[in-house]
Chain A
Amino acid sequence: MTALLVAFLVSTIAAATPLLLAATGELVVEKVGVLNLGVEGMMLAGAIAAFATANETGVTSLGVVAALVAGIALALLFAVVSLTLQANQTATGLALTIFGRGFSALVGAGYVGIPAPTLPKIHIPLLSDIPVLGPVVFGHDILVYLSLAILAVVAWCIRSTHLGLILRAVGDSHDAAHALGYPVVPIRYAAVAFGGALAGLAGAYMSLAYTPLWAQDMTAGRGWVAVALVTFSAWRPFWLLIGAWFFGALMYLSLYVQALGVAVPSALLSALPYIGTVIVLVLISRDARRIRLHRPAMLGRPFQSRA
């Protein structure tokens, strides 16, 4: 029983990590009033960049760096089209997803079915050996801890710092922020790049730790689930963590029940996390007033300075 519980908790945290990373990035992007629907594409680009680099060099940390670069590069592409050229953000985000899928499939064509070095799990003497608590809390790889640390920093930054105030001002009233002298478009560029970096990291986690290999479209909609999580959290970082763990548990359970050989067909179980996303979205969105209250008022609106 204990072993089962440990496996459940460890796997849930692992499955939640890419969701948490990507969703934290998207949260910051949406906080400044930009809707980037290209998370899935940036994750895929990050995944293949990390995998290919780790595979060629044998160094996983270089893979992580490559994923960051790939994520930022794609995010900047989105920023140029949607922020500078002021194209519709929804459509531009879709373009980014389509491009990222194609790009990753093209680069990844030579990497299907080869193993790559895996991110090592951290082992802290004594601490990691505590029963239950050890593997659940102290037995993960570095990206798991990094994802939690980034979330904490982002939460603190948005809530209690001057920078957070500026970010929120840009997202809630870009005209007011502009009048106060804040460079709206450069701030949005920076936030979009940050979102891209975290989506890239999420991809790196997928291909270097979670399922250490490359397969076309390996993120399987996780980028979209991450976008849904931001709405679910009503743009509050703490709830992002709850949501990520919830979906992590759902993903683990759909795999675990399949392994048990229960009579439910595996294809239907695989659909469970997506059905769960729809149900959660419906439950959360039902209260339109609450969503309106928390949503950055300028979300998806282009800014054009009339200077």
Chain B
Amino acid sequence: MLKIEPRGYESKFWRYASPVLALLLTGATSGLIFAAMGRPPGLTVYTFLIAPLLQQDGFEALVVKAAPLIMMGVGLSLAYRANVWNIGTDGQFTLGAICGGGMALAFPDAPAWAIFPAMIVAGAIGGMLNGGLVAWLRIRFNANEILTSLMFAYITQYLLVYLVTGPWRDPQGFGFPQTALFSDDALAPKLIEDTNVHIGVVLAPLIAIALWFMLEKTLLGYQFRVLGQATRAARFAGFSENRLVWIAMLISGGLAGLAGMLEATGTLGQLTTTLSPGYGFTAIIVAFLGRLNPLGVIPAGLLLALTYLGGDAAQINLGLPNAVTGIFQGILLFYLLGCDILLLNRFRWASTQAPTRAKAAQ
């Protein structure tokens, strides 16, 4: 019988190999699913994961898609380290876009040097407001942050729909549910002319590096790691759990807000009723694929961004619904979590007979 046996130590090899194994298994499983749907598995996986990169501007599209995922994933990797389960980053993303976009709509004639920095601040504050509310409810009222953060995601989505179809609707928009276009000065500065590559593309990895430094090299980061791994030890050491919950929710919320604001001003140029194609849940996978390490989040964000492009490519080229992206992401997270058993355990063929002496002695 196949037995799971504790190693007694953490395997360095599997620490890095387990996400790779998970990816390979995900590729194989989705190939099987495509085959079951009557599609050639090789071609479909190719269309899904490789073809988008070979297209013209494929790389630009990838980094633009990855920027918000990296920002949100970095914040989540910090929060999850401290066992703060913020799963409503979609809501924080949306409120950031509402606040940042609202700023652009309120001051259409503001000069360029003032408006965009103000929007950055507004976007981050919007996300922090949402995240801070969740932190406050958990600390003050003991309310589970998983449920409250997710409920706020629904609430802010309805707030967005209300604003975009109501008071903020563009009067010249022929009744479409969208706001007026932001002024040119309110758009995220472009790094490359005539593409969507905006400032967020460099901001995201810089934020990841900064948070990596904070987590690995500062006392605050040490407190985060201890709280997540040994809650009791953190209490004995006198670390304030409440303070860390506040910081985790404010940072992860603020980064999601910033991502939302950049998405609105960098790629859309206005607010519409659908801002986030499920980034909130995808960012969770990004955080786990990056091993809850801000530096690991950078390649993880790029890979998950690829699944969005792949979903679009599969829809256009193969006529598959782009929901394929969701399945692929779900399978990937399952495998990621499952493969981690190899970190502390190994599989062994063991007879069902009497245990060996070494085991009996334990």
> Is A274 a contact of B321 with CB atoms below 8 Å?
no
User: Which residues of A195-242 are within 8 A (CB) of B?
Assistant: 216, 220-221, 224, 227-228, 231
> Is B338 a contact of A224 with CB atoms below 8 Å?
no
Partner of A94, one of B4, B137, B278, B333: B333
Does B340 interact with chain A (Cβ within 8 Å)? yes
In whole angstroms, what is the CA distance A271 to B151 when docked?
A: 9
In whole angstroms, what is the CA distance A98 to B165 when docked?
A: 29
Give the chain A neighbours of B137 by CB distance below 8 A: 278, 281-282
CB distance from A52 to the nearest CB of B (A): 14
Count of chain A residues with a beta carbon within 8 Å of a chain B beta carbon: 52
Does A127 interact with chain B (Cβ within 8 Å)? no
Partner of B321, one of A77, A88, A106, A220: A106
> Is A231 a contact of B141 with CB atoms below 8 Å?
no
In whole angstroms, what is the CA distance A88 to B85 when docked?
A: 12
> Is A97 a contact of B158 with CB atoms below 8 Å?
no
> Is A274 a contact of B341 with CB atoms below 8 Å?
no
Annotate A90-104 by CB proximity to B: 1 below 8 A, 0 otherwise. 111011111111110
Does A37 interact with chain B (Cβ within 8 Å)? yes
Annotate B1-33 by CB proximity to A: 1 below 8 A, 0 otherwise. 000101000000000000000000000000000
Does A85 interact with chain B (Cβ within 8 Å)? yes
Between A82, A285, A286, the greatest number of chain B beta carbons within 10 A of the residue's beta carbon is seen for A285
> Is B325 a contact of A102 with CB atoms below 8 Å?
yes
In whole angstroms, what is the CA distance A204 to B324 when docked?
A: 23
> Is A101 a contact of B326 with CB atoms below 8 Å?
yes
User: Which residues of A249-307 are within 8 A (CB) of B?
Assistant: 265, 267-268, 270-271, 274-275, 277-278, 281-282, 285-286, 288, 291, 304, 306-307
Determine the residue in chain A with the shortest Cβ distance to B331. Answer: A99
Does B233 interact with chain A (Cβ within 8 Å)? no
| Contact status of A267 and B166, CB under 8 A, knowing A109-B323, A274-B155 | yes
Give the chain B neighbours of A91 by CB distance below 8 A: 284, 288, 333, 337
CB distance from B15 to the nearest CB of A (A): 15
> Is A85 a contact of B338 with CB atoms below 8 Å?
yes
> Is A228 a contact of B281 with CB atoms below 8 Å?
no
CB distance from B96 to the nearest CB of A (A): 18
| Contact status of A103 and B327, CB under 8 A, knowing A91-B288, A92-B337, A231-B144 | yes
In whole angstroms, what is the CA distance A221 to B281 when docked?
A: 14
> Is A267 a contact of B162 with CB atoms below 8 Å?
yes
Give the chain B neighbours of A98 by CB distance below 8 A: 281, 284-285, 326, 329-330, 333
Give the chain B neighbours of A103 by CB distance below 8 A: 326-327, 330
In whole angstroms, what is the CA distance A286 to B327 when docked?
A: 38
CB distance from A180 to the nearest CB of B (A): 21
In whole angstroms, what is the CA distance A247 to B85 when docked?
A: 25
> Is B151 a contact of A81 with CB atoms below 8 Å?
no
Give the chain B neighbours of A231 by CB distance below 8 A: 144, 147
CB distance from A119 to the nearest CB of B (A): 26
User: Which residues of B304-349 are within 8 A (CB) of A?
Assistant: 321, 323-331, 333-334, 337-338, 340-341
> Is B324 a contact of A106 with CB atoms below 8 Å?
yes
In whole angstroms, what is the CA distance A81 to B331 when docked?
A: 11
User: Which residues of B108-151 are within 8 A (CB) of A?
Assistant: 137, 141-144, 146-148, 150-151
CB distance from B234 to the nearest CB of A (A): 18
Does B159 interact with chain A (Cβ within 8 Å)? yes
> Is A228 a contact of B330 with CB atoms below 8 Å?
no
> Is A281 a contact of B148 with CB atoms below 8 Å?
yes
Determine the residue in chain B with the shortest Cβ distance to A106. Answer: B323
> Is A277 a contact of B142 with CB atoms below 8 Å?
no
> Is A267 a contact of B161 with CB atoms below 8 Å?
yes
Give the chain B neighbours of A228 by CB distance below 8 A: 144, 147, 151
Give the chain B neighbours of A77 by CB distance below 8 A: 334
9 pairs, A vs B, C-beta closer than 8 Å: A77-B334, A98-B329, A101-B281, A105-B321, A105-B323, A106-B324, A109-B321, A220-B154, A267-B159
10 nearest interchain CB pairs? A102-B326, A99-B330, A105-B323, A87-B337, A109-B321, A267-B162, A95-B333, A102-B327, A271-B158, A98-B330
